[in-house]
Every structure is written in structure tokens, then in C-alpha cells.
Structure 1
Amino acid sequence: MNGRRPRAELIRYWSGRRGSAVALGTLAALLAGLPSLAGWANEQPLRFDTDFLRNAPGQDIDLSRFEQGNPVQPGRYTLDLYLNGNWMGRQRLEIDADAGVCFSREQLRELGLAEERLPAASRAALEAAEPGCVDIQRLLPDSRATPDLADMRLQLSIPQAYLRRVRADQVDPADWDSGVTAAFVDYNANAYRNEVNGRSSEQYYAGLNSGLNLGDWRLRHNGSYSRVDGRSDYNSVSSYVQRDMAGLKSQLTLGEYYTPADLFDSVPFTGVQLASDERMLPDSQRGFAPVIRGVAESNARVTVRQGGNILYETTVAPGPFVIDDLYGTGYAGDLEVTVSEADGRERRFTVPFASVAQLLRPGVSRYSVSAGKYRDERLDSTPNFVQGTYQRGLSNLWTGYTGSLVADNYLALQGGLALSTSLGAFAFDVTRSRASGLDPSHGLGGSASGESYRLSYSKLVETTGTNFMVAAYRFSSEGYLGLGEFAELSEGSGGLGRFRQRNRFQANISQPLGEGWGNFYLSGSAQNYWNAGAGSDVSYQAGYTNGWRWGSLNLSASRTRSLSGESQNQYLLSLSLPLGYTPGAPFLSSSYSRTDNGTSDAQLGLSGALGEAGSFNYGVYASRSRNEGGSSASSGANAQYRSAAATLSASASDGDGYRQLGVGASGSLMVHGGGVNFSPDQGETKVLVEASGAAGARLLNSYGARVAGNGYAFASGLMPYRRNQVALDPRGLAEDVELEATEQTVVPTFGAVALLRYPTRSGQPLLLTLRDAAGGKLPVGAEVLDVAGTSLTLVGQGSRVFLRADQAQGELLVRWGASADRQCRASYQLPEGKPEGQPFFLVESLCRSST
């Protein structure tokens, strides 16, 4: 691998850090620039004017090797393959000296090549080519295969006419990475000490999310440990094993888990579950969006707009067309479709579009099957149950769904429809339950049956911009019981009991007031119960927000009322002002709140970030509260530091009659085949980076993780089943190490620990000045190779060569043409040491003619 671009980047870094000579910067530009010119040659054949290279007479350099692309040494390489700009996975490819990049016919079919669409001459050439080595550039007109070993990728361009229709965001399950065997613990630990009126107490808490990956299986355990005033307790939240079922686009789970909340209320259980995982679908197939159908009379352009914004545009052939890969855009209003014919005529029509959670695209299904035992440690006995749900998009208008839940002495059935109309999106369903074996002490007798009705609605009123994001109403009859309620009311369960909901209404509405005027919002919920008298829970809030270059404002009013009839109104005004416009500039925030019982609170705070990438965060505040009994003041400070191994935090506060101190740490620990590593990141899906000798390099996908001394680093929070770019920043590397690649792409499955290997090259940095036998300079752009014939770099201005010497002495071949009189050989010997502060060795050498 030539590694030219990483070397050039490293030279530029040294130049900025150490103040190297201008000549070195010029050399770096040349080394980076010539491969760039070579990259342009891949677009079309180029001819280089050698007059721009001011070489001595008779030293004209042969640049023909760059006229058809960046020359790459023959061999087998594992490269990220990009087809027409879209990542198609990582493949093992052979680069042949004569045939260029070799593809097998099977690989071309997997990439979507439609052989029946090829010109007759191309089909004949494909049949005649070796099955294991097809040169795509010779086979197809206007096709290109461009290796880029600096980024470990291959850019492949094939005219769209020769390809089958493949969604741009679709990732073949064959490219999903299940990761390697590894164990990890994500932790969040805190310690507090409070002192109130002379009495002190101590509290310790640690939340744990641990896992072990074995092939496609994921073993998980979630729990928490707490210790309060000497009393300890460990709470096990869940323990389960899980794996992908790629063919079914589903997840299989065994152990302690939770049922889906799509139709029935989610409940904890111990058992087995198989459920659809929508994350496995392309983004253009997730959520709800209507299918657009129409007819074009010529080669027409179809444009889809929503609220005046262009969502989608494509060109279609004459005849019927279908657009079924729109991205789900939530609640943003109807779609306006414009068909622009080749002769300038335009036709427009509207497709209604509003969405609720139950809506699916036409032809898309979602299902779940769960079987096991209801889980609640507070109950003496719990029922066994089986639950199944199914949803299917029937058309742009309708989605149907149904479900059933069968348990010991319990049955529930549900059926519903969701609609997308020009008046908004609706979902309506009915659930009927029947239960027996109940504890009569709860007032329902030994058995009960009833219904629950649910109506949901969402709509964007485009003329005013009013957005009914969620509006839902639910009514349950007195005899209706959910599975959780049934378990608590069953005879022999221990009889916890709970309030049984009767009515529930909730709404979230937002209203923009025009450009520069901010936004008004209203949200609230109200519910009452069959066994709680005439009382009801009520909570709602209205507010106004706006932001300007100089700060932001929030004004809100809220009201709450409990079942006991007690109510409270609260009013809040907050203002935030940036104290500067540079990254990390501090913010000054202030707030004032008041309740209708006379209590008020005023607070003033300052917060900001310091250090590289804002790794240190701080905040200080002071507040004063007033109530009927008088007033009190308090103040406090907090700080957080994100290191390469963990996130550390501390806080302190002081007020009238109390004092508090706290410290905390959070992060992740991983054990894998290469050793043990730490990271400040937490998350289910991770990437493990191997870069031998690259200690100190920063993982750009993390806010703080760096390659440790064992050559590994890891980050969390990758998007499963999606292309994730994983990059390393070479700043911080030792001067004798260079990364041959700085970025790769990976598609991890959910919960995987994907492994990416970044090749490195070790050696002492050497700036070598070469002279010919007469003491003259060598031609700029001449190629420098090692004794094995591997291309290393190019000769720069002033006859200087920058390279990495992996040995104290060595021999180089320099050539600027094919004939022997255009080649010479040079030897070098590294000094025993270099002056302090000098980033590389400076050596001069004589290049002797090969003749």
C-alpha cells in the first residue's frame, strides 16, 4: 500500500506543530497533490504538462502511469466498495496488473448488474471473460473502478441503465457484521453525602448493563446496586439472551424481557419472544409514507413536495410509475406531486399524508409472539400467558391490526383500523377482556368482563401551521382489565390492587407564530378511575418559546390537580444568554418561578465547556426561594470531565440548613481477544478498533476514546443495520507510527461488537536529500521504491524525499522512466539520534545510476 495521503497529512501536521521549513510544506503539498491529479485522471484521460515540473534538461519525467488513474500495486485487498456513491459492503478484491480490478460474475450480479440490459458487444465480452476476473472498465462503456488505498475503498461507477433498481439506503444482510466475541459492562456509579440540620446520610448507587457476545447470540443482564445509610440492596431488572433472525427481519429473545407496546400495554415477563424489528428495514421503508402512483406521457420529471419543500425528485419513463421509497416524515402534511412532461406540460395532484403510530406502508407487516410468565416480584403468584399481535398496511388509506392475549383465567382480544386521510390520521381499536378467579375483596366479584375503546388522531393544518402531534382518548368499562391489572387482582396473587382507569385524554399541540415570532405549545392529560371516587388526575401546560442570536426565552404556565382534589398553578420564566460566540463560550441562564400559594424561586447560573472538544464541563448557580415561612438561599457547582477511559463528575451545594457533596463515574469496560479496554461511551451496539502501535490516536466516533497502549479502542452508540463511518484522528500518534487508513465503514447488527482493523506502518520519519553523481538534483515527481519494488513516495522539490525508515539502513530505487538511464539507486544510514525538537531525521545520499 502506498500510504501517500496519510504521509502528506502527517507532514502537514508536523509543519503546523513544529514550525518546519517552508520547503517541507511545499513538499507535502506536492506529495498530496500529485495523487489528487491522478484521481482526476479517473474521470477522463489526462495529459500532464511536464513543463510545470522544473527539472534539469534531459530529466523529463514519465507521468504516463498517472494518465489512466492512480497506479496501485497488484495484489488482493479488502476494500469498502462504493457503487455510484452508495456503500455496498466490504469485499476482498484482486487488482491485476493487466486486467485492473477483478470482479467475478457472481459479484457483479450481487451488485445489481442486469446482464440482459448490456449492449450486445458487452454481453459477448462478458461471456468470453474469465469468470473470476472481469474488468468492468473494459466491459461496460462509461464505467470506472477507482481504488483509493489511502481510505481503503474502491469507487465503482456503472451507468444506471445497466443496473437493477436497488434502494440507495438498502444494505444487503450479507454485509451485516455480527461482531466478535467480547464481554462488557456499562456502568453509572454515584456517591452522595447529605447533611441536613446536623444529621448526615450517605447514599451509593451503581447501575449496571452487562453483556457477553458469542457469535450471533447476545447475553444481557441489567441491574442496580444501592446502599443507603448502611443498608444494601441489589435489584435485578432483566436477564436475557437475544439474536437476530435476519430472514424474518425479527429478534428472538429468551429470558426476562418485556412485551411490545404496539397494541397491548407492555408488561414484564419471563419466557420467549419473536418480534419484528423495523430497524432492519431500509430508512425508506420505515414508518409510514404513502405509495404514489401515476402515469407519465413522456420521459418526465416527478417532484414530490410537502409544505413547499421538495422531498423527492426522479425521472420516469413513459407509462405508469410507482414511488414507494419515500422517507417517513412524521406529521408534516399532504404531499403535492408534480409531473413535468418533456414538452413542458405540468400536471399536479395531491396525496393525503398524516400518520399515527399504528399506520404502516402498503404491503408492510409487523408481528410479535410472546409466551411466558408474567413477572412481578411483589406478587405471590403470577399467570402464564401467550400474546400475539399482527399489523398490515392494506393501502395508502387503511392499516389493519389485531391481537390476542391468553392467560390462566384471562382472555383479551383486540381489533383496529388506522386511516390516513386529508382530514388527518386516525386510529380506532376495541379490546375486550374476560377474567375469572379474581379476589372478591377488590369489588369486582370473582369474574369480570368489559371493553376498552381507543381513538388517536394527528394532523398538520397547513394553512395555519397548527400541528396536532398526538391527540388520544381512551374509555374502559368497569369490568375491563389489562393483564397487569388481572395479575394484581387475581386470587392468591397477594392482592396489591391498583386504580382501574376509566377515561384518559391527552393532547400535544404546537403553533408557530411566524418567522422571528417563536412558537406556542399546549400539552396536557386528564384521567379518572372506576375505584377512586369522583376525583381525577389533571395536568396541562401552555408555553411560548423563541430564540434569537443573542439568546433564548421560555415562558410557561402549568396546572396540576390530584385525585384528592388538591391543585396547584405554576408560572415559569427563563432566559439564556451566550457570553460570546466561540465554541465552548459560557452561557448565562436565569429563571424565575412562582406558584399560586405564594412560593417563588429565582435562580442565576453560569455554564460552559473547556479543553479539547469540550471535554471539561462546568456550572455554578445561586438561587433564592421565598414562601410563607420566610426565605432561603442556596448555591452550588458541578463539574464533569470526559477522559479517554471514563466520564468523571463532581457536585457540591450549600444552603440554609443543608450541605451536599457528590462524586460519580460512568463509562464502559470491555474484555476481548486483544485485552481489556475502557471507554467513556455507553450503548448497546459497539465498534472495537484495532490499530497496532497507534496509542494516542483519537476515535472520532467518540467524545473522548483513544487507542490505548494495547492498540485497541472502542466506542458505543452505533446505528444497527446502518452504514456507520468509523474514523481515527492521527493527532496524538507517536512520530514513528503512521496510519495507512483513517476511515472505514461498518454495518453492525443490534448489540454487536464490530471489529475494524486499521493497518499501521512503523518507522522513523526521514527527510532524505538525494543528489546524482554530478551533484545535481533528481527530477521532481520521480517514483521512489524499496528493494522489493513497493512504491513508497515521490521525489519533491529540492530533490527531497520523505519516507518512513523501518530499518537503520536501507536501499532505494528511484525512477522517472522505464529505461536504465532514467533510474538510480541510493543507500541511506540513519544517524544515532536527532536533535531535540526536530520531528524527523535529515540525511543526504548519493543516487548512483543503474547503468
Structure 2
Amino acid sequence: MFALSVIGQSAVAQIDITGGSPAALPSLTGNAPSPAGPSTAAATESLVLEIVVNGTSQGEPSNFELRGGELYAEPQSLTNAGIRVDDVKPGADGWVALASIPGVHATYVARTQQAVLEVATDRQVAQQIGYRVPAVPKATPGTGFVLNYDATYQRSSGEAHGDQFGVWSEQRLFSPFGVFDNTGTYLNGTDINRYTRLDTNWTYTDATKLFSLTVGDAISESLAWSRSVRFGGIQIRRDFALRPDLITFPLPMFTGAAAVPSAVDLYINGLRQYSGNVAPGPFQIAQAPSLTGAGVAQVVVTDALGRRVTTSVPLYVDTRLLAKGLFDYSVELGFLRNDYTLRSWSYDSSPVFSGTFDYGLSDRLTLQAHAEAAKDLRNGGAGAVLALGNRGTLSAAVAGSNENGKSGALASLGYQYIGPRFSLNLQGTRATSGYRDIASLSGASTFEHLYQATASVALYRTQSASVSYIDSKDTFSGHARVVTLAFNAQLGTRLSLFASVFRDFSQTKVYGGSVGLTMSLGGNASASATVSQSGGHTTADVSASRPADFSGGWGWAVQGGAGADYRHAFAGANYRASFGDFQATAQRFNGTTTGTLQAAGALVAMDGTVLASRSLGDGFALVSTDGVARVPVLQENRVVGVTNRDGYLLVPDLSSYQRNQLAIDPLALPADTMIDKTQMDVAPQRRAGVLARFGLSRYRGASVSFVDADGNAIPPGSVATVTDTGASAVVGYDGVAFFEQLSTMNAVSIHGKNIDCAAEVAFDPSTARTMPQLGPIACRATRKP
């Protein structure tokens, strides 16, 4: 039998869901301690017993003492067996009488050498199942250089004509001490010939502490009610992106109890998220649901007899919240960047400061704070995100600023609910005319207000509709009040329909709409047709495409469109290889025809070799087989390529600071190959590479048969040793010994039972590939037996 619990109640099919990890489960039985059995002995007897709790063995035996017929144990032994003893005071010697523990009845079974314990549910430690904080893999350091590039050549003819060549490039030097990075663009065309530096910085990261330090160009962190800026300086922050396997939002915690060994399954919105087994006693399931917003969790408990209890519990997940006690921060100090992409070295002369902090005060409340400072500007604010149970989340923030004695204020309020059938998002932010932040100092627009409301509803199983309203006013775009209606529908397995209309009520004759149809053509290809109307003008576009497979191959795209004042046609083909992506396109827009050639990829210098690759964003590995060519390399049991003639293969797209399994296929190696290892796990640092060396080498040896002076085989078990290298081999039957490495001439001594002799073994290295059999070779006795 089994039971699921809700605080304050006891029933067969009930369950409790709370945030975080409960410190202790509620009492389900309230059993009083059982009286001790009669005394059977006066002396103390030391025992090593198997612990059986409620009929289930706990595995490893533990130390006990039998004193006056009562069992005593050390508190740690009971804790290891899942029994809570935090409220029990041990004796002066550190041992606890089991009869003194409320909710525990102990029986010593001498015949089976067991301590059989009947333990009340509230006395047991809840079994932790489901999600566990993953261990941080030890980073595998590497040193090398990466050159990423994206080069484009464009030639136009007709009404507009000319040539233009452009290259975006990144130079990245990585080492165990961090990553130095520089990006820029070069343009050469009509009236232009220049290189513009974009970002230059050095970054050091530590995944064990979620710490990141950047010196150079960076982007400041921001909250929903603040703005980011580009700057040059120093940034110190906590970086959860270093550990994407960590769950930072509050996990729903399901608690229950089972009276017998049972299987537990957790379903979220009908999809199984966890499956496992539990021993008798209380249990807790902490599992990250694969949803954002509202949903329904179902816990199914099945005992050994097949009896099943299913309990449904509503839940709501918002990833903007931080789990209780978790915090996030970012601090920046530097100089604002001006004319980005236009000038290489344009910074303000006065420094600026920015700081952001988030803290999970509880699983329902996350606090936020943000502060900024510049020469004549001070800005600060605070906010919060509050979970409203299963009814969504509420967010609020206030901020104030002062620039040269002129004050301003900002207020923001929002509500969000995301459900499987209905979603609603309301957000309003308003600032007074004097409100300023450091983004406004860099030329960004200042806004007066931004009001947003969006509602969406699921219609039937494959359709959805939404309506949105945006009322915004800023110094760049002016005032806009736009209402948009949208509809999407999946028509069968191959067709989808989309339609939308909009109207700007702050301007006259600003309205429009579009309707389109997308069809799957099979083989990853699709086609679409769209008709749009805006400002009294109607346009129509049709397109078809098939992207290249991720593993490599050809892709293509065609498009055509027409409107009142334009005609457009486009065709292109692209090819994805292991050493880069390449594309050629041709298009005609009204009277101008343009042809484009594009190549994107990377060059990697590492371990004394240079290899071409696709563009490298995050981690990668350079596999080395020590000069052995054509060796198949596997990533997570999937063949990703073979090593080149120098024994190298570059494996891109690895996850940084996570375990990535690499292996080689030993069956494809020559018979004379020695292998150090066939599999390894690597964890590259962020945006860095690792050297995965499998340690392959060729045998330069042979099997040698030895005989004594009478022609009899050397007795098995004797040890043959090469004098020059010290390498030894055990002599087997027929006097045969195998040596992995031999020189042209080898002095060998053999020692064993009733044998002590020496021999000379000549070896031709050119025969090593065939693993030659040498001998019989006479071994001359060095002493008489």
C-alpha cells in the first residue's frame, strides 16, 4: 500500500506540492514509541547487522551494540538508513538506544543477523528523487587560435551598378587564462574602403563559481525596466549561462509516501517527465517541468501488485523568478561607446557605472535593484516579481533619476499569465519628462510611456488567435497606438495558415493586413505564398526553400514577388561542408540585378596544425590520433568524421563546461596499432577548444619463440626482459613471448624456475605491420640449474 500527503491531512491518494525543498514531512501516523523488549543479557555485545526498514533492506551492514537486550546504534548509521534522528540526543558515548526514538520499533533477529526496524512515516527522511544539481565537470583547458570569417562579394548591374566586397572577421586567442577576442568589418566598394573595429575584449570565466570577468568592450546587463548600453571598461557578473544545465527558477516539489516498494511516474500536461522507483517511506520529486506558465502535474504511484493511484495537481512555472536564496548580479564600469559599426575608437571621455542585482527572497518573490551613475547623472530603482500561485505573476518597479539638478521618475507595472488554452500579458511603463538613464547619454531615444496588452487563445487543437495593443511614445518614433489581430491554423499535417490585420489609431490611413499559406514539400523543403495590403497598396510573394542539412549537403531557395511599385525575383543555392558554408544568389529588384557570393567558416591553429572548419561560436575539440589517418571519430555515439592524413579531425558545436563524449572506432584501425584509450569526456571552456589525444602508436614488435640449448621450449611463466629498454614479457606456451617494441638488435635475458639464460633477437622494423613470428631462438644458459 502507499499514501500521498497534504499538510494537515492523511489519505491514500493525496499529494502536496510546494516550492523548494521542505525541511520535514508532516506526521502521517503519530505513532508512539514502542516499548523495549525484555532484557536478555546484561553484557554489551558488538554486532554488525543488516538494517531492514519497513521490510526493505538498506544495503551495507552497520555497527550495533546489544546492551541489556536493547539495540544501540550511532546516529550516522540511522541517518544513512533514512531515519531522522535530529531531535534525539545520544548518550555520553555518542550512541542512541533505538527504543528511545519515537516512531521506531527495533527487533534483533540473530538467525539472519538483521536489525529489523518498523519506522513511522514522520520519522523517515524523505527520499530525494528527480532533479539533482549536476556536478560541474572539470574544464579541459586548451590553447590555440581561431579565425572566424564571413566574406561576401556583391555585383550589381542595371539602374544601380557597382561592386562591393565585405568581410566580417573574428580573431580569438584562447588559453587556460581566458579568451582574447577581436571582431571587425572590412568594406571595399564604391566610395568606401575601410576596416572598422567592432569589439575587443578579454574574458575569464569560472563555471564552478558562475563567475565572469570581461575587460574591454561589453554590453551592460539590464532588467525589464532598464536599458543596456555598449561600453568599454570592466564587467564583473554572475553568469548562469556558464551552466545551462542548472535550474535557477523555483522547482515544484511533490511530496508523498509509499508503504511498499513502488514505481513513481510524473506527467506534466500529459507528457512523462520522470520515472523511477521508491522504497517504502516518504519521497520528494523535484523535477523541472518542460513548460512555462500554467499546467497540470499528475503523479502516478504503482505498487508491486499493480495497484495504481493517480493524483492531479495544478502548477505554474515562471522562469523570471529565482529560487529562494539564489542571486544574480552584474557590475560595469567604463566609457560609453559611440558610433558603433561606424568608428573604431569612439568613446565618451567621462566614465559611467551600472549595477544590477536580483535576489530570490522566497520561491514566490524575487527582488530586483538597478543603479547607474555618470558625470552629471544619478539613476536608481527597485523592482520585484511576485508569483500569484496558479494565477500568474505580477511585476512592479520604480526608478528615479537626477541630471544636473533636474529630477525624473519611472514606474512600471505588469501582469503575466500563460496557460495551455489562454494567455494574457499586460505591461505598462511611464516616465516623466525629466527621467534620464545612461542609455540616453549615448544618443538612444527617451520615452514617455509604453503600454502593452496581449491576449491569445487556443482554438480547438491546431488553431490559435491573438490580439495585441501597443501605445508608445518616444523621441525617435513619436506616438503610435497600434492594434493587431492574428490567427494561425494547422491544416492537416502539411499545411498551415496565418493571417493578421493591424491599425495605427494615432495616424490616418495607417492600416493593413496579410494572409499566407505554408506547405511542407517533404524532405525538409517547404513553400509559402503571402498576400499583403498596407496603405492602400497590395503585394504578393511566393517562395520555396530547402535548407542544407546540419551534417552537410546542398540547400536552395527561390522567391518572387510583385506590388504596385516593385518587382522582385530571387534564386540561391548553398552548400554546407565540414570546412565552411558557401552560398551563391542572384536577385532582380525592379531594374537592378545583383549577384552575390558568400563564404563563411573558420581557421583553427592548434597543436601545431591548421584546420578549416565551419564558423565556431562556442566550444570545439581537435581530435588527434597521433598521425594515424582515416580513423572514424564519434561524438555521443554518432560518427562525425574521420581523421585527415595527419591524424586530426576538428569537432565543432560542443557544449562548454559540460561533458561531451568523444570516441574512436578501434575496429577501423590496423592490427599493429596500440591504443591508449578509445573514449574520453571533454568539457571545453566557453568559446575555446580542447585537444582530445587518443594516444595511438604502431607496434614495432613481434612474437618470439625461445628454446633452450637442447631445443626444448622455455617453460611458461618465465619472464623475458629486453636489456636495453627494460621492457618485459611473460613467456607462454611453446616458449613464445610477445614484445611491443623491438630494436634492430635486442639482447634478451630470461629468468624463471630452473632457467636463467640470454638470447640475441634480430628484428626487421619493416615487417612490424605484419606482426611477425620470430624464432625459435636459442637461449644460452648463464648459470646451471
For Structure 1 versus Structure 2, the TM-score category normalised by the shorter chain is: 0.5 to 0.7
1:190 equivalent in structure 2: 152
Match of 2:378 among 411, 415, 423: 411
The share of aligned pairs that are identical, in percent, is 19
Shift of 1:248: 3.4
Structure having the larger proportion of residues in helix? 1
Task: Give yes or no for contact 2:626–2:695 (8 Å, CA) kept in 1.
Answer: yes
1:558 equivalent in structure 2: 500
Greater Cα radius of gyration, structure 1 or 2: 2
Amino acid at match of 1:554: S
1:216 equivalent in structure 2: 177
Q: Unaligned regions of 5+ residues in structure 1, if any?
A: 1-115, 123-163, 438-445, 489-495, 579-585, 773-784, 796-800, 835-839
2:617 equivalent in structure 1: 683
Following superposition of structure 1 onto structure 2, how do residues 64-75 of structure 1 map, counting pairs within 5 Å? none
> Residues 763 and 331 from structure 1, CA distance in 2 versus in 1: closer, same or farther, beyond 3 angstroms?
farther
Paired with 2:247 and 2:543, the residues of 1 have a C-alpha distance of: 47
Shift of 1:231: 0.4
2:519 equivalent in structure 1: 575
> Residues 646 and 758 from structure 1, CA distance in 2 versus in 1: closer, same or farther, beyond 3 angstroms?
same
1:503 equivalent in structure 2: 450
Match of 2:168 among 199, 207, 210: 207
1:367 equivalent in structure 2: 329
Paired with 1:742 and 1:662, the residues of 2 have a C-alpha distance of: 45
2:23 equivalent in structure 1: none
Shift of 1:693: 0.9
Task: Give yes or no for contact 2:128–2:284 (8 Å, CA) kept in 1.
Answer: no
- The yes-or-no answer on 1:458 pairing with 2:392 is no
Amino acid at match of 2:489: Y
1:244 equivalent in structure 2: 205
Shift of 1:600: 1.7
> Residues 336 and 591 from structure 1, CA distance in 2 versus in 1: closer, same or farther, beyond 3 angstroms?
closer
- Name the SS of the counterpart of 2:316 in structure 1: coil
Shift of 1:664: 2.0
Amino acid at match of 2:144: A
Following superposition of structure 1 onto structure 2, how do residues 421-500 of structure 1 map, counting pairs within 5 Å? 421-437=388-404, 447-460=406-419, 465-466=420-421, 468=423, 471-479=425-433, 481=435, 483-488=437-442, 496=443, 498=445, 500=447
Paired with 2:189 and 2:669, the residues of 1 have a C-alpha distance of: 45
Task: Give yes or no for contact 2:491–2:497 (8 Å, CA) kept in 1.
Answer: no
Task: Give yes or no for contact 1:830–1:841 (8 Å, CA) kept in 2.
Answer: no
> Residues 831 and 239 from structure 1, CA distance in 2 versus in 1: closer, same or farther, beyond 3 angstroms?
closer
Q: Unaligned regions of 5+ residues in structure 2, if any?
A: 1-57, 65-126, 341-345, 708-719, 780-785
Task: Give yes or no for contact 1:523–1:542 (8 Å, CA) kept in 2.
Answer: no
Task: Give yes or no for contact 1:176–1:748 (8 Å, CA) kept in 2.
Answer: no
Shift of 1:259: 1.6
Paired with 1:302 and 1:541, the residues of 2 have a C-alpha distance of: 42
Amino acid at match of 2:499: A
Amino acid at match of 1:277: D
Match of 2:274 among 312, 315, 330: 312
> Residues 533 and 236 from structure 1, CA distance in 2 versus in 1: closer, same or farther, beyond 3 angstroms?
closer
Shift of 1:707: 3.6
Paired with 1:681 and 1:828, the residues of 2 have a C-alpha distance of: 52
Shift of 1:683: 1.3
- Name the SS of the counterpart of 1:486 in structure 2: helix
Shift of 1:450: 1.9
Shift of 1:426: 0.8
Match of 1:719 among 613, 631, 655: 655
Amino acid at match of 1:752: A
- Name the SS of the counterpart of 1:213 in structure 2: strand
> Residues 667 and 281 from structure 1, CA distance in 2 versus in 1: closer, same or farther, beyond 3 angstroms?
closer
> Residues 382 and 600 from structure 1, CA distance in 2 versus in 1: closer, same or farther, beyond 3 angstroms?
farther
1:560-579: CA deviations, max 9, x gaps? 5577553332222222212x
Amino acid at match of 2:239: D
1:628-655: CA deviations, max 9, x gaps? 46x8573523131414x33333233457
- The yes-or-no answer on 1:335 pairing with 2:280 is no
Shift of 1:528: 1.5
Structure having the larger proportion of residues in strand? 2
Paired with 2:471 and 2:290, the residues of 1 have a C-alpha distance of: 32
> Residues 749 and 166 from structure 1, CA distance in 2 versus in 1: closer, same or farther, beyond 3 angstroms?
farther
Task: Give yes or no for contact 1:697–1:731 (8 Å, CA) kept in 2.
Answer: no
- The yes-or-no answer on 1:593 pairing with 2:530 is yes
- Name the SS of the counterpart of 2:470 in structure 1: strand
* Structure 1 range deviating more: 841-850 or 181-190: 841-850
Paired with 1:243 and 1:734, the residues of 2 have a C-alpha distance of: 43
Paired with 1:249 and 1:501, the residues of 2 have a C-alpha distance of: 37
Match of 2:61 among 119, 122, 125: 119
Shift of 1:234: 3.0
Amino acid at match of 2:582: L
- The yes-or-no answer on 1:617 pairing with 2:554 is yes
> Residues 534 and 181 from structure 1, CA distance in 2 versus in 1: closer, same or farther, beyond 3 angstroms?
closer
Shift of 1:276: 1.6
Shift of 1:720: 2.0
1:85 equivalent in structure 2: none
Task: Give yes or no for contact 1:284–1:327 (8 Å, CA) kept in 2.
Answer: no
* Structure 1 range deviating more: 729-738 or 498-507: 729-738
Following superposition of structure 1 onto structure 2, how do residues 282-293 of structure 1 map, counting pairs within 5 Å? 283=245, 285-293=247-255
Amino acid at match of 1:217: G
1:668-689: CA deviations, max 9, x gaps? 2223342333322411323232
Shift of 1:397: 2.9
Amino acid at match of 1:475: T
> Residues 658 and 392 from structure 1, CA distance in 2 versus in 1: closer, same or farther, beyond 3 angstroms?
same
Task: Give yes or no for contact 1:699–1:707 (8 Å, CA) kept in 2.
Answer: yes
> Residues 344 and 171 from structure 1, CA distance in 2 versus in 1: closer, same or farther, beyond 3 angstroms?
closer
> Residues 262 and 298 from structure 1, CA distance in 2 versus in 1: closer, same or farther, beyond 3 angstroms?
farther
TM-score by length of 2: 0.66
Paired with 1:383 and 1:541, the residues of 2 have a C-alpha distance of: 47
1:225-268: CA deviations, max 9, x gaps? 22332402333332222212456322122221112234532222
Match of 1:637 among 565, 572, 588: 572
Task: Give yes or no for contact 1:360–1:392 (8 Å, CA) kept in 2.
Answer: yes
